[in-house]
Amino acid sequence: MIANLLTVGNAVCGFIAIALMATGPRLAEGPPVELKWAAWLIFLGMVFDMLDGRVARSTGTTSELGAQLDTLADMITFGAAPALIVLQMHRLPEVWPWHLPNWVLWCFCIAYFLGAVLRLARFTVENVPDESAHLCFKGIPSPGAAGLLASLTVFYFYLKNFKHPELVKWVPPAWKEPLQAFADVIPGALPVLALFLRSPLDTILGTLHDPVVIDALRLSLMTSTITTVTVVIMGTPVAYVSARFNYFGKELADSLIDLPVIMPPAVAGIALLVAFGRMGLVGHYLNTSFGISIAFTTLAVIIAQVFVSSPFYIRQARTSFEDVDLAFENAARTLGASRVYTFFHVILPIAMNGLVSGAIMAFARSLGEFGATIMFAGNFQGRTQTMPLAIYTAMQGDLDVSLCLSIILVAFSFVVIFLVKTMTRRVYKKC
């Protein structure tokens, strides 16, 4: 029953997309917004199409009726709707700088539709309950072709930066902003959604007990925490001096601080290896004089993370200190407070939200560091293999471990963005 409802949802998306095309886009008012909504409906139909087969096979409710209904829905959403989008896009001079004869365009659309029909007919004939048979199916990829046409349509609208005062005539006014927000979220949400759909909850919970996951998670959290504390202790004075004082070479110093943000991670790893490796500029002295070897150790992981994440904190802290009104600082100084007392009791509390946001961003950047770490610290489980390195290693053998670690990093990323936005909003409300 659920699988059939999902299939019907796929068909409804195709019908609505065709209805939008049949209303006749208003070319006189600019690029027609109906085209964009029809493209998003095709994407939504692809989600329904992906889910209905999985649900039917996992619940053991596959049937001939369901297969035929799925074929009909796919013919509508992935056959007729994309063909009509091509016909309407041809009317836009920005898309087609040359004019094609109508018969050529119609022949292309008919051939596309017939190709989709033949592909779906073959899929129905070869339909088997085994999930693996669908992964290696060979035929004309009508859903993929429909997704390509829809992607080109959406890309055209984003390229034109088209903003229309009205969305669709039949959309209630109260739904316009939520639907527009939903359309803006889909490009970033689809890959994340696919990641969660590919990994069932029981598989994720079972993989959490894997030694690779446990070691990588423990090492990542430990090194990222140490890195964040180090960056806050070392970066706060640097950010304050940069925000409050002018000195010779300030622009050069600020550029060097921000350099790791745009430096390729592999280059950063090589630079750290040349500086702190056993034969490096500083590492050779530490090795020969004190017997300290930094490269390919846990300390190397922390140094690499400090190098790449410190600009994120320092830039945010510098901005936060610059936003503190000098009148508060001057008032405290005129009342007899020392510069150190003023910093800790006046400036620091005012800038605290920005500093915490910067620390969270530095922690997240440390957690996701890959290039500099693998070049400078190597990839040794339990010693230098953080979560990104474990994902890279597990991809070659155990996909479940990679997916589990990826989902953990996605969850961390979401929490980080949520916290930063929340704190930033509080700062703006105070202002």
- Each residue's pLDDT tens digit, 227-251: 999 999 999 999 999 998 888 888 8
Cα separation, 60 vs 51, in Å, equals: 14
Where do the domains of the chain lie, and which CATH numbers do they carry? 2-198 (no CATH), 211-430 (1.10.3720.10)
Give the DSSP letter string of 45-108.
HHHHHHHHHHHHHHHT---HHHHHHHHHHHHIIIIIHHHHHHHHHTT-TTT-SSPPPHHHHHHH
End-to-end CA distance of the chain: 54
Q: What pLDDT is recorded for position 135?
A: 47
Contact (CB, 8 A) for 279 and 267: no
Q: What pLDDT is recorded for position 13?
A: 83
For 404-413, letters b (16+ CB in 10 Å) and e give: bbbbbbeebe
Residues 402-428: tens digit of each pLDDT: 888 888 888 888 888 787 777 666 655
Q: Which residues of the chain have pLDDT under 50?
A: 25, 27-29, 95-98, 131, 133-141, 161-170
Q: Return phi, psi of residue 348, to 5°.
A: -60, -45
Q: What pLDDT is recorded for position 4?
A: 77
Cα separation, 397 vs 210, in Å, equals: 13
> What number of residues does the chain have?
431
Cα separation, 343 vs 240, in Å, equals: 9
Q: What pLDDT is recorded for position 179?
A: 58
Contact (CB, 8 A) for 305 and 222: no
Cα separation, 222 vs 51, in Å, equals: 39
Q: What pLDDT is recorded for position 102?
A: 66
Q: What pLDDT is recorded for position 317?
A: 93
Contacts of 159 (CB under 8 A, 6+ apart): none
